[in-house]
Amino acid sequence: MKAKTFLVFYLSFWILALAGIGLYQNLELPRFMEYLHVLIMICMAVVGIYQGYLILRARSRKQPADDELSIKILHRAAMVSYLISLNLWAILIYVSSKTKIDPGILFGIGIICMAVVFALSWMVIKIRGTGHA
């Protein structure tokens, strides 16, 4: 349990550190796109820190780490984000074939979009519920 909480904060720290390094070393993207990528990475790190906070709060209240509802929400969010991500990759492959954008940049955009889609689907399902009683 403690290792899981530590891992959340550790990965969030490294995401923020790599976003900062990438901001100053990237020469191919325009400045706006760099700032957009860093902003998305910071949002991902904030979601990770929020998850770590929820784990710590549940531990201090002596609640179980993963109950059935949270696991069901996580599985449903993964299912929805997987289906959306498949369509996203199909769109990116089409864009790659029609434009001269570097495939490495499109690959990075696809990975960041997958993380954003998962975070958004998790938030929506957590707010709306799983749909089953």
**pLDDT value of position 29:** 59
Between 31 and 127, name the one with better pLDDT. Answer: 127
3-state helix, strand, coil in the chain (%, to 5): 85, 0, 15
- At 104, list the tokens: 């490495």
For the whole model, what pTM was predicted? 0.63
Instruction: Give pLDDT tens digits for 53-109.
Output: 887 888 888 877 677 888 898 899 999 999 999 999 999 889 888 888 888 888 888
Cα–Cα dist 36/20, whole Å: 12
Average pLDDT over residues 113-126: 88
Instruction: Give pLDDT tens digits for 22-56.
Output: 666 666 656 676 777 777 777 777 877 887 788 78
